[in-house]
Chains A and B, each alone.
Chain A
Amino acid sequence: MVIYGTALLAFCHALGIVLGDLLGHALGMKTNVGGVGIAMLLLILLRLWLHKYGRLCATSESGVNYWGAIYIPVVVAMAMQQNVVSALHGGPMALLAAVGSVLVCGLFISFINRAEKPDSKTS
C-alpha cells in the first residue's frame, strides 16, 4: 500500500527530528542539530534492511518516491515565501559568495581529476 511508504518516510522524518533535537540538547543548544540529515541516513538504512528481507513492494516505494519527486516544486514554493525585498539589499554579496565558491570548487575538481590515473578510460 502506498501509505506504507509514506508512513515509513514520516517515521524516519519524525525520528530524525527527535534525535536531532536530543543531539541539540546534549550539545547544550536549544536548536535541532542535523535532524534532516539523520532522517535521511535512517531512511537509507531502513530501505536497505527492508529490501534485504523483501518487505518493500513497488507500490509502497511509490509512497516515498512521490515526495522525492515533489521536492523541486516544494523548493519553488519555499522560494516564493522568502523575504526577497530585504535580501536584495545584499545582492552583490550573494553573487560574490556564489562566484567565489564555484571558482574554488572548480579549481579543486580540476586538481583532483588531474591526479586520476588514466587507466579507467584509456585501457
Chain B
Amino acid sequence: MWGIFEKAAKDNGLIAAFALVGLVMLVSGFISRKLTFGHVQGSAIAILIGLALAYVGGKISGGSKGLADIALFSGIGLMGGNMLRDFAIVATAFEVHPGEAKRAGWIGFVALLLGTVLPFLVGVCVARAFGYTDAVSLTTIGAGAVTYIVGPVTGTAIGASSEVMALSIATGVIKAIIVMVATPAAAKFMRLKTPRSAMVFGGLAGTVSGVSAGLAATDRKLVPYGALVATFHTGLGCLLGPSVLFFAVKAIFGN
C-alpha cells in the first residue's frame, strides 16, 4: 500500500509538489487568520513552515537539498528549482504599471536604490563580522538582506554554496517578518500617511509581502502605492546584486 503511494508520488513529482505546497499554504493561511489574527501574512508563515520542513528533510536524509532529498518529495526540487522560480519572478513584472510608477518621481527611484544598497551594506558588514571573507558569500548574504528573492537569485548567479544561500534566505525572511510586524507600530515614526510616503516606504523596506502586509495593517489605502514600488525592488536587486554590487564587493575584499 505504502509502496504504491510512494511510487505514485515519485512518478508524478511536480504534481505531488503542487499538492504539498498548496496544503502548506492552506495551513499557513489558517494559522495567519486564527492564531495571529492576520498580523503575520500567510505567505510568511508558509515560508517559515517550508524552511522547517527543509530542516526536517535535511535531518532525515542527511543531504543538502532539504525536503527534495527525500524521494517522496523530489518534485519540490523542480517546483522550487531555479527554472520555475525565475519564471514566476519574471511574471510578477507584469503587474507593474510604468505610468503610476513615473508619478512616484525621482524620490521613488532614490528610495529603491537606497533600499537595495543600505540593506546590502548592513548584510555584508554583518557577514564580514561573522567571519565570511570570500566575495561570493559576502555578496549573497548582503543580497539576502535586500529580499529573500534577491539573495538566492544573486547566490545562484555567482555560484554560492547552498549553506550560504539558506542563510541569505533566512535573513530575507526574518527581515520580511520584522517589516510586517513592526510597520504598524513604527508608522508614526516613519510618517506613513501619504501615497508618496508609502512609495518611499515600499522602496526602502523591500519585500512585497512585508510591504503589503505592513501597509495593510497600517492604512489600507496605502497598500497599492507601497506595493507598486516594492515590485520594482526585486527586479532592481536581481539586476544589481550579481553585477554592480558583486563587483564592488570583489574590488574591496578581493577574490
Contacts and interface: CB of A to CB of B under 8 A. Distances in A.
Interface of A: 9-10, 12-13, 16-17, 20, 23, 27, 31-41, 43-44, 47-48, 61, 64-68, 70-88, 90-102, 104-106, 108-110, 112-114, 116, 120-121
Contacts of A81: 54, 57, 65-69, 76-77, 80-81
A79 B239 contact: no
Contact of A9 (B90, B209, B241): B90
Contacts of B111: 109, 112
Nearest to A48: B98
Contacts of B94: 9, 43-44, 47, 61, 64-65, 68
Interface string B22-50: 10110000000000000000010011011
Q: When A and B form their complex, which 8 residue pairs have the shortest distance between CB atoms, in order from nearest?
A: A37-B239, A77-B80, A79-B50, A87-B166, A101-B119, A78-B80, A40-B93, A67-B91
By DSSP majority rule, is chain A's interface helix, strand, loop, or mixed?
helix
B242 A32 contact: yes
A80 B173 CA distance: 13
A36 to B, nearest CB: 4
A121 B194 contact: yes
Contacts of A88: 55
Contact of B58 (A73, A83, A104, A106): A83
23 contacts: A33-B242, A34-B238, A36-B239, A40-B235, A41-B235, A44-B94, A47-B94, A68-B91, A70-B88, A73-B22, A73-B46, A74-B79, A75-B149, A76-B47, A80-B66, A83-B64, A83-B66, A91-B170, A93-B127, A95-B174, A96-B126, A105-B115, A106-B186
A101 B192 CA distance: 19
A85 B119 CA distance: 25
Contact of B65 (A38, A48, A83, A94): A83
A36 B166 contact: no
Given A35-B157, A72-B43, A77-B76, A101 B145 contact: yes
Contact of A109 (B21, B146, B190): B190
Nearest to B92: A68
A108 B77 CA distance: 39
A112 B85 contact: no
B244 to A, nearest CB: 9
B144 A80 contact: no
Contact of A86 (B80, B163, B242, B247): B163
Nearest to B94: A64
B223 interface: no
